[in-house]
């Protein structure tokens, strides 16, 4: 690296010393005078190159750009510096890595009128999710001031995700909003000299506010979709784009200032699926924003100053406050990258993706908590949340050709409760989501008891302070709850659109609700919460009816405002048909009328009463989902949470299987779909075969089990077909024999 620095410096200096040819300098200066009528106007002098922004290599930030350049002489000088920057250390490294001839690359410069985003905001947008490759969203990040704050990873930006498919038809196509810390902003310096900007600290009030509006996000998203369509048409193939935007603080206008092809996810094979499994994890030390879906383990190298990157050794985990393009040589040697600051569209993130290096940004304190020479594991396999663990974990990679997987008659669906992971799982070969655990969304993305946002006067001062802090960017805690739940469900719905997702209404038990912020003041103390106030009984209880209405408001928003008609509902733990009628009425009162806009309402079949009265329940619901865990618990009288009785809990017990058989037969008798949600088909191949033999319509599983169960179910279906074929042949032979015997008797 030291040798590289010497050579790069000499190459750049040769160009600077030679200077621009006089006729070129004169042409630039005359153009500046002509375009701006002699006025001293600020421009951006931005570099490009003939080998930059290619479909296979982005060369992001490899050459220099200069902002707030004023005056014809300043512009000419900046152009020369841009041309010299073809030989920055990072650009040389990048060309070597991508096998480009140094002398075949030509420098280019564009001069643009400065958008006064120093008085407003700017950022980056991708026309896909850059970490999972999910194609149906526009991911927009932004911060105050000039765009270098976001691109350079100097801040944790705001982020909004807009669903492309419903952008023109839905009232609210935004599926995700996140407020970043936006620590600093880059603005014009007061002296106005060429290329001069300065960095200001963002005050706490502005940090807590979004730097662009929902309306801005929708406009940017529409432009991004148009740009993507243009380049897709131009290149004759799907071309996701990486786009920079800016908002003028004087006029309020939005601008697109750059567009280039996205170069990482666009190159991935659509039929290839890589699964990374991380096990034997040590304690979690830090969390941040995950970049990519991979993991790495190794020794850490903390580098706090660019001059120290020569100490970096191949295979180490690079830990820094931020990185900019000058850090590329070090990133290329790293097994993973961790930064204190930055968002998913910053330089460290973009380069890490392109080099296939797991990266976690925005950790706040990685440089102070992680120690050089110590071993850690960087895990980006859990959706947007990246985690750094102590020690070296076990990391396994499996590449699956999904096109070669067998096709099954039985629908394979997912069990999900984490919206952060939904986009990553959207490419699994499944028929949608058979069970969205709504209570998991509440627990992990809201963390507040619904009654606590409805009746804040009844919570402790400590809980009230925490609720106020989490809801600070919404009109009220109630609005916060509805928005976060809507976005959580909406993200899952978008991930699998138009495939159906079945959202189970909240099914926390009282002891679980009690753990939410403010929950202790609203929940009863029950001896056995597992068979206590849960499911349908809770929705109709006078103390919790308004909390249920709050959940319904969020679900109605997802279907009616966000446009996700693929969302279906499911009622858990419904003991009686009287409860069923009450819940269906409550849903209708909250804008969720069964049958309207093709809204289907399912019921969990997890109680003996559901099985024994299945004809009555079938008259009220559109389908059944057998909950094997609760059904086993209640058929065998075993508390499924009891470690002492774990050996007795068995879904393959004959009594449980008889109940499941009766449930499937009852659903079929009433022309209702029936599926099963549970772990048993994943762990027990014989149980999966049993379900297939009974004619189950669908099986819902956790994502890690999908591939294995697809193969098991396909084999079971083939066995059923062979068995049916043999049975048919036997019946035909039997019929022939009977007719032959009858004919013989007649003749005699």
Assign residue 521 a region (left: φ > 0; alpha: ψ between -120 and 50; beta: otherwise). Answer: alpha
Average pLDDT over residues 304-315: 88
Band of pLDDT at residue 350, cut at 50, 70 and 90: confident
Summary mean pLDDT of the chain: 90
Tell me whether residue 514 is one of the annotated catalytic residues: no
The residue-averaged pLDDT of 429-447 equals 93
Question: pLDDT class for 190, splitting at 50, 70, 90?
Answer: low
32-45: pLDDT as tens digits: 999 999 999 989 89
Q: How confident is the model at residue 576 (pLDDT cuts 50, 70, 90)?
A: very high
The pLDDT score that the predictor gives to residue 51 is: 59
- pLDDT at position 375: 96
Which residues on adjacent β-strands are paired with residue 360? Answer: 290, 338
Please tell me the distance from the alpha carbon of residue 697 to that of residue 108, in angstroms, as a whole number.
60
The reported pTM is 0.84
For residue 399, the model assigns a pLDDT of 83
Q: 677 catalytic, yes or no?
A: yes
**The one catalytic residue among 211, 359, 380, 677:** 677
Give the chain's domains with CATH numbers. Answer: 2-113 (3.30.1490.20), 117-267 (3.30.470.20), 273-400 (3.50.30.10), 405-723 (3.20.20.60)
Does the pLDDT of residue 316 top 70, yes or no?
A: yes
Distances (CA, A) of 506 to 175, 232, 411, 488: 20, 43, 24, 13
Residue 55 has pLDDT above 60, yes or no: no
Band of pLDDT at residue 57, cut at 50, 70 and 90: low
Higher pLDDT, 331 or 165: 165
Quick check: 10 pLDDT over 70? yes
Q: Is the separation of the CB atoms in 632 and 649 below 8 Å? A: yes
Choosing from 347, 389, 425, 557, the catalytic residue is 347
CB 257 within 8 A of CB 245: yes
Position 104 confidence tier, pLDDT thresholds 50, 70, 90: confident
**For range 179-197, the mean pLDDT:** 77
Q: In degrees rounded to 5, what are phi and psi of residue 2?
A: -65, -40
**pLDDT class of 702 with cuts at 50, 70, 90:** confident
Q: What is the pLDDT of residue 195?
A: 46
324: pLDDT strictly greater than 60: yes
| pLDDT the model gives residue 32 | 96
Give mean pLDDT, residues 226-230. Answer: 97
For 229-294, give the DSSP string: HHHHHHHTS---EEEEEEE-TTT--EEEEEEEE--SGGGS-TTEEEEEEEES---EEEEEEEESS-
| Predicted confidence (pLDDT) per residue in 578-626, tens digit | 999 999 999 999 999 999 999 999 999 999 999 999 999 999 999 999 9
The DSSP element (H or E) to which 193 belongs, if any, is none
- The band of 64, judged by pLDDT with boundaries at 50, 70 and 90, is confident
What is the phi-psi region of residue 59: left when phi exceeds 0, alpha when psi lies from -120 to 50, beta otherwise? left
């Amino acid at each position: 690296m030291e040798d590289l620095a010497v050579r790069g410096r000499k190459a750049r200096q040769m160009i600077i010393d030679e200077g621009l040819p006089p006729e070129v300098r004169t042409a630039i200066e005359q153009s500046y005078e002509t375009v701006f009528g002699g006025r001293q106007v600020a421009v951006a002098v931005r570099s490009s190159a003939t080998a930059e922004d290619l479909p296979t290599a982005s060369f992001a930030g490899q050459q220099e750009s200069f902002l707030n350049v004023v005056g014809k002489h300043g512009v000419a000088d900046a152009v020369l510096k841009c041309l010299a920057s073809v030989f920055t250390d990072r650009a040389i490294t990048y060309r070597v890595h991508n096998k480009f001839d140094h002398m075949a690359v030509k420098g280019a410069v564009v001069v643009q009128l400065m958008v006064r985003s120093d008085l407003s905001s700017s950022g980056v947008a991708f026309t896909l999710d850059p970490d999972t490759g999910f194609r149906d969203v526009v991911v927009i990040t932004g911060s105050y001031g000039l765009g270098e704050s976001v691109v350079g990873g100097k801040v944790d930006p705001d982020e909004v995700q807009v669903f492309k498919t419903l952008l023109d038809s839905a009232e609210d196509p935004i599926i995700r909003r996140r407020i970043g810390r936006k620590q600093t902003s880059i603005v014009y310096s007061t002296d106005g000299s060429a290329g001069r900007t300065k960095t200001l600290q963002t005050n706490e009030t502005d940090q807590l506010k979004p730097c662009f509006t929902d309306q801005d996000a929708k406009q940017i998203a529409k432009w991004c979709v148009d740009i993507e369509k243009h380049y897709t048409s131009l290149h004759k193939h799907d071309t996701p784009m990486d786009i920079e935007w800016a908002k003028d603080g004087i006029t309020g206008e939005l601008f697109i200032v750059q567009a280039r092809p996205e170069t990482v996810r666009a190159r991935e094979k659509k039929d290839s699926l890589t699964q990374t499994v991380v096990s034997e994890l040590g304690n979690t030390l830090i969390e941040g924003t995950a970049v990519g879906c991979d993991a790495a383990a190794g020794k850490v190298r903390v580098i706090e100053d660019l001059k120290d990157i020569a100490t970096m050794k191949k295979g180490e985990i690079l830990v820094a406050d931020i990185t900019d393009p000058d850090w590329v040589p070090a990133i290329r040697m790293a097994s993973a990258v961790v930064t204190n600051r930055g968002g998913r569209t910053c330089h460290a993130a973009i380069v890490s993706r392109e080099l296939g290096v797991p990266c976690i940004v925005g950790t706040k304190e990685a440089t102070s908590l992680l120690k050089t020479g110590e071993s850690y594991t960087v895990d980006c396999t859990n959706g947007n949340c990246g985690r750094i663990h102590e020690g070296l974990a076990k990391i396994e990679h499996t590449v699956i050709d999904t096109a070669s997987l067998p096709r099954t008659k039985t629908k394979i669906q997912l069990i999900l409760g984490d919206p952060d992971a939904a986009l990553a799982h959207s490419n699994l070969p499944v028929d949608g989501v058979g069970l969205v655990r709504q209570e998991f969304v509440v627990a992990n993305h809201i963390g507040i008891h619904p009654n606590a946002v409805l009746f804040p006067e009844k919570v402790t001062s400590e809980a009230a302070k925490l609720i106020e802090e989490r809801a600070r960017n919404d009109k009220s805690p109630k609005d916060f709850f509805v928005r976060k739940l809507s976005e959580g469900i909406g993200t899952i719905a978008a991930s699998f659109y138009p495939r159906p997702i079945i959202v189970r209404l909240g099914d926390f038990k009282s002891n679980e609700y009690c753990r939410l912020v403010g929950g202790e003041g609203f929940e009863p103390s029950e001896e056995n919460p597992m068979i206590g106030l849960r499911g349908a009984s809770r929705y109709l209880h006078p103390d919790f009816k308004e909390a249920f209405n709050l959940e319904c408001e969020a679900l109605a928003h997802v279907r009616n405002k966000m446009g996700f008609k693929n969302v279906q509902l499911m009622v858990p733990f419904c003991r009686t048909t009287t409860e069923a009628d009450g819940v269906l009425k409550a849903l209708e009162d909250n804008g969720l009328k069964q049958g309207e806009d093709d809204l289907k309402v399912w019921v969990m079949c997890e109680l003996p009463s559901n099985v024994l009265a299945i004809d009555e329940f079938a008259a009220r619901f559109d389908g059944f989902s057998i909950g094997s865990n609760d059904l086993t618990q209640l058929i065998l009288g075993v508390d499924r949470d009891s470690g002492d009785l774990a050996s007795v809990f068995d879904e393959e017990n004959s009594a449980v299987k008889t109940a499941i058989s009766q449930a499937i037969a009852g659903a079929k008798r009433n022309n209702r779909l029936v599926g099963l949600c549970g772990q048993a088909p994943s762990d027990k191949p014989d149980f999966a075969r049993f379900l297939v033999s009974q004619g189950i319509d669908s099986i819902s599983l956790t994502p890690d089990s999908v591939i294995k169960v697809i193969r098991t179910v396909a084999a079971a279906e083939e066995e059923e077909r062979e068995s049916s074929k043999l049975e048919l042949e036997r019946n035909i032979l039997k019929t022939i024999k009977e007719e032959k015997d009858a004919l013989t008797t007649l003749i005699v």
